[in-house]
Amino acid sequence: MPELDFVQRLAIWVLPVLFAVTLHEVAHGLAARRLGDRTAEMLGRLSLNPLRHIDPIGTIVVPLVLMLLPFGIIFGWAKPVPVNPHNFHDPRRGMAYVGIAGPLANLLMLLAWVVVVRLGTFVAPAAAFWGGVLVLTGVAGILINAVLMLFNLVPIPPLDGSRVLAGVAGPSTARVLARIEPYGLLIVVVLLISGVFQTVLAPLFGGLLAVVRPLTGLPVSALLAAAQTLHF
């Protein structure tokens, strides 16, 4: 894979990241609407326009700063989609369905980016440059959606996994998670900086890529080379 400078890597990542964040949030809103809550729809948050979901600090400033620092982590957030669980027949289980909708959207996007990689390998013999762009963009899409899906499934508030756990495990667990939530973001940041998240999620991430890699048609060496090329 060719060496890319910072601006080129950033350009490759922009589209996959915007899609991953936007559709993740829209999926939450669509699930809520399906269950009877139209709050997100009334506030215009079911739009595919990424500007409606971008948090200037969490989506732009924090990730860019982390890219330039030697921490080896990228972290950020979008504006959460507003949901009123009181509009659900069963608020606790309703929030569980809303919570899982985001990671499921990331899984579907991951598979869509697999198709982009296959298209790139098909185009490459006739148009090497555009084929390479498609492959790298597709690999970036696979990576960001895999990370977002696994990261959001961690059962720590305010991550989606906490909503799912509260809905599955019962009221007592939901109460414990509710008490933790005011400190949840701080807990997440500490676990990221300490490397605990990376240690726990790395085997799951590697296992997911091992399942996905044959679908891309890329050999392991090519997938690793693309990932290394995209690394900041």
Catalytic site residues? 25
Closest CA to 211 of 121, 123, 149: 149
Return the SS3 of 76. Answer: coil
The H or E element that residue 225 is part of is helix 220-230
Round to whole Å and give the CA distance between 182 and 188: 12
Round to whole Å and give the CA distance between 232 and 68: 8
The vertex-218 CA angle with 216 and 224, nearest 5°, equals: 110
Round to whole Å and give the CA distance between 116 and 15: 13
Q: Are 110 and 212 in contact (CB under 8 A)?
A: yes
**171: number of Cβ within 10 Å:** 9
Closest CA to 227 of 109, 107, 108, 143: 143
Q: What is the dihedral of CA 158, 69, 64, 43, to 10 degrees?
A: 10
